[in-house]
Chains A and B, each alone.
Chain A
């Protein structure tokens, strides 16, 4: 008895993944060649190959390339974290900010800055003297701590998806309030670095940021084949999933940990870029249609594309005063989400 059914629409969906890979490369190329500083395309190409003018080389190799790569990695992190969280909480609106991860990172960053400003007492209001190089690490630690805290609360009774979502929202709100409270009355130019980070930005992100993210990305992607099937089963009730043979609590915890690590590291580096984690999985599911195995790779590719293009748009539209990527994703994300939700059955 053969059960290889004919799958309607399989023809065009087979081209989807190669198409998106091409789009990843195209958006990468666009982001490299376009920018506020008008560089001659041939100059840019030469710079990429290690020749060209020192000015072009500095702009391309030291500024644009690391910034784009950081954005792509962060985009993959947000999108994957969103997909994982939406699956295990069975909540289509779950994303890192809903789970308190973003707020945890935010509180850690603002707390760290307040502490460092007053403990060093440099008496300066300039940004340069703030220890910004520590922000990714601090943000990641804060996000992970918040995720761990929420997990512990939820784990004490059971790991019901509703409970963990509500815990995430409640804890996130408290952390957010404290984070904002820390900044209150904290006038002066120092606020700028915080505000820019809070909006979610790729401004001045360099190689060290891409390198900071890379281990998380590699670990996250490497573990995906292991959690592929559990991820499907985690979308059922715990009773059903366990009856099918899944060790629910172990797998739930593993997936939640991966999601938190991906989200927290990305928030730590670029700040809470909203809507990427929420929308990209929906786009991927919409495109994948009845081919669930496609959702995971599509989410990864779309995460990189969306982040790169959103950052490019923010760079080009804003001119010298670029628009932070978080603002772009928020503005473009809402109508897209509404459109996708209307199309979803």
Chain B
């Protein structure tokens, strides 16, 4: 489906991504986790062909992405960057319509299929009632969903999301995650998303890649990540993995400095 091997990207002297390797199965949901500046966004931009790598190649269905036009890429892969901006007066529907550019190109009229895709994208993000609202009049959560909707209208089989839940309240966060899950299971969409919430990552993803300073230090399922002890080292925190339900994902419980202090002071008293 989508894969890359030994991808390296540098910003000036700094290597933002160093030998990044990933291989995705159709319909897989993959989380990219890692501390700030560990290369998650760079990895996504490299995978979507937006940054030309210094080394390595990205393959979509076996074909190198570097040889494709932007439209050919957009047919197969849609990428939603972190906090994108749009012209203020643009309406939700107008934004979502832009998602069809890969299909309609410069001249073709929007036909039934395009309108259906736009309608479906609006429906599945719950934005149909707000379609005529201008983006500047939306709340942060609604705006984020409008962007996801535009990415959905593209109807690509691969969806790359850069922190799609940031700045959303917990209700919308879960809504986005549920949507991702539905897309993967019902439409066979392959999803790669950078995400900060470790527990959400473990609960929704098939596999997890952990990045540290541009390198992949872990690639596997949540249970193995829990056993590896890497989280505590990479994020410089203390905590433990607990199993809340027997067949559910592990849950990481962080120890707060303050709580520990209270515990030690209670012990000495």
B28 CB–A CB distance under 8 Å: no
On whether the beta carbons of A247 and B69 are closer than 8 Å, the reply is: yes
A242 CB–B CB distance under 8 Å: yes
Chain A proximity mask over B75-95: 1 for CB below 8 Å, otherwise 0: 100111100111111110110
State which of A8, A226, A245 has its C-beta within 8 Å of the C-beta of B73.
Answer: A245
Which of A101-109, A114-122, A163-171, A230-238 participates in binding chain B? A230-238
State A8–B91 Cα separation when bound (angstroms).
Answer: 13
Cβ contacts under 8 Å, B88 to chain A = 345
Cβ contacts under 8 Å, B154 to chain A = 244-245
Indicate the member of B75, B79, B98, B118 with the most A CB atoms within 10 Å. B98
Cβ contacts under 8 Å, A54 to chain B = none
* Interface size classification for chain A: 20 to 34
For A238, the closest partner residue in chain B by CB is B50
State which of B86, B89, B93 has its C-beta within 8 Å of the C-beta of A345.
Answer: B89
Cβ contacts under 8 Å, A292 to chain B = 90, 94
In the assembled complex, the CB of B51 is this many whole angstroms from the nearest CB of chain A, namely 10
Cβ contacts under 8 Å, B99 to chain A = 244
State which of B48, B80, B98 has its C-beta within 8 Å of the C-beta of A232.
Answer: B98
Chain B proximity mask over A197-234: 1 for CB below 8 Å, otherwise 0: 00000000000000000000000000001101110110
On whether the beta carbons of B106 and A3 are closer than 8 Å, the reply is: no
On whether the beta carbons of A236 and B101 are closer than 8 Å, the reply is: no
A51 CB–B CB distance under 8 Å: no
Cβ contacts under 8 Å, A235 to chain B = 86-87
Chain B proximity mask over A235-275: 1 for CB below 8 Å, otherwise 0: 11101101111111000000000000000000000000000
B198 CB–A CB distance under 8 Å: no
For A239, the closest partner residue in chain B by CB is B81
A2-B115, A245-B70 known; A239 and B45 CB under 8 Å?
yes
Chain B proximity mask over A112-147: 1 for CB below 8 Å, otherwise 0: 000000000000000000000000000000000000
Cβ contacts under 8 Å, A290 to chain B = 89, 91, 132, 134
A156 CB–B CB distance under 8 Å: no
Indicate the member of A226, A232, A245 with the most B CB atoms within 10 Å. A245
State A246–B104 Cα separation when bound (angstroms).
Answer: 12
On whether the beta carbons of B98 and A243 are closer than 8 Å, the reply is: no
A1 CB–B CB distance under 8 Å: yes
On whether the beta carbons of A8 and B74 are closer than 8 Å, the reply is: no
Chain B proximity mask over A54-89: 1 for CB below 8 Å, otherwise 0: 000000000000000000000000000000000000
Cβ contacts under 8 Å, B81 to chain A = 237, 239-240, 243
Indicate the member of A230, A232, A242, A243 with the most B CB atoms within 10 Å. A243
Chain A proximity mask over B137-176: 1 for CB below 8 Å, otherwise 0: 0000000000000110010000000000000000000000
B136 CB–A CB distance under 8 Å: yes
A342 CB–B CB distance under 8 Å: no
State which of A3, A90, A240 has its C-beta within 8 Å of the C-beta of B115.
Answer: A3
A1-B120, A245-B73 known; A229 and B131 CB under 8 Å?
no
On whether the beta carbons of B123 and A237 are closer than 8 Å, the reply is: no
On whether the beta carbons of B119 and A246 are closer than 8 Å, the reply is: no
Residues of chain B at interface, number, CB under 8 A: 45
State which of A5, A7, A243 has its C-beta within 8 Å of the C-beta of B79.
Answer: A243
Indicate the member of A1, A235, A246 with the most B CB atoms within 10 Å. A1
B122 CB–A CB distance under 8 Å: yes
A5-B93, A245-B73, A247-B69 known; A236 and B116 CB under 8 Å?
no
For B80, the closest partner residue in chain A by CB is A243
State which of B89, B101, B118, B120 has its C-beta within 8 Å of the C-beta of A244.
Answer: B101
On whether the beta carbons of B119 and A3 are closer than 8 Å, the reply is: yes
State which of A237, A245, A344 has its C-beta within 8 Å of the C-beta of B71.
Answer: A245
Chain A proximity mask over B102-128: 1 for CB below 8 Å, otherwise 0: 101111000000011011101100000
State A242–B80 Cα separation when bound (angstroms).
Answer: 11
Task: List which A269-309 residues lie within 8 A (CB) of chain B.
Answer: 285, 290, 292
In the assembled complex, the CB of A242 is this many whole angstroms from the nearest CB of chain B, namely 5
On whether the beta carbons of B93 and A244 are closer than 8 Å, the reply is: no
State which of A2, A225, A239, A245 has its C-beta within 8 Å of the C-beta of B50.
Answer: A239
State A345–B106 Cα separation when bound (angstroms).
Answer: 30
In the assembled complex, the CB of B158 is this many whole angstroms from the nearest CB of chain A, namely 12
State A229–B107 Cα separation when bound (angstroms).
Answer: 8
On whether the beta carbons of A242 and B50 are closer than 8 Å, the reply is: yes
State A8–B134 Cα separation when bound (angstroms).
Answer: 13
A226-B106, A245-B73, A345-B136 known; A5 and B131 CB under 8 Å?
yes
State A235–B85 Cα separation when bound (angstroms).
Answer: 9
In the assembled complex, the CB of A300 is this many whole angstroms from the nearest CB of chain B, namely 20
For A246, the closest partner residue in chain B by CB is B70
A sample of 17 cross-chain residue pairs with beta-carbon separation below 8 angstroms, ordered by A number, consists of: A1-B120, A4-B115, A7-B132, A237-B81, A239-B50, A240-B81, A243-B50, A243-B78, A243-B79, A243-B151, A245-B73, A245-B74, A245-B75, A245-B154, A247-B69, A290-B134, A292-B94
Which 8 pairs between the two chains have the least Cβ-Cβ distance?
A245-B74, A245-B102, A3-B119, A1-B119, A245-B71, A243-B79, A235-B87, A240-B84
Chain B residues in the interface with A (C-beta under 8 A): 45, 48, 50, 69-71, 73-75, 78-81, 84-91, 93-94, 98-99, 101-102, 104-107, 115-116, 118-120, 122-123, 131-132, 134, 136, 150-151, 154
Chain A residues in the interface with B (C-beta under 8 A): 1-5, 7-8, 90, 225-226, 228-230, 232-233, 235-237, 239-240, 242-248, 285, 290, 292, 344-345
